[in-house]
Amino acid sequence: MTAVEITRFRTPAARADALLAARPAMLRDFETDRTGFLGARLIQLSAGEWLDIVFWRSSDDFAESRRRGGDRPGIQAFFSLIDEVISVEEGTTTEPVGA
């Protein structure tokens, strides 16, 4: 099974375009610098809320990434556009990633 990070956050509508523009650099930083990163999906909800679903090879990989936080420029640029983190949860997949 794969570890899944589920983060719900708020970013004002006025910064939505900037958030989307910052996303590719954040993903590149994760791909090149985060062990166990398998991919991510960003979902726009209503009222300036977003859901970021990130797939990790293991719970330990997710924990290490959280420990490091925004230590890369692309990650920091994305994080800086978030006004409020509403929740962060961890789960596991019940089917293979990409199925």
pLDDT values of the chain reduced to their tens digit, one per residue, 99 residues: 899 999 999 999 999 999 999 999 999 999 999 999 999 999 999 889 999 999 999 999 999 999 999 999 999 999 999 999 999 999 999 877 765
Residue 96 lies in a domain: no
Q: What is the pLDDT, as a whole number, of residue 59? A: 95
Residue 41 lies in a domain: yes
In the chain, the number of structural domains is 1
Q: What is the pLDDT, as a whole number, of residue 90? A: 96
Q: Which domain holds residue 21?
A: 3-91
Give per-residue burial for 36-59: e unless 16+ CB within 10 Å, then b: bbbebebeeeeebebebebbbeeb
User: What CATH number does residue 43 fall under?
Assistant: 3.30.70.100
pTM of the model: 0.91
Q: What is the pLDDT, as a whole number, of residue 13? A: 92
The answer to whether the Cα torsion of 18, 72, 67, 99 is positive or negative is positive
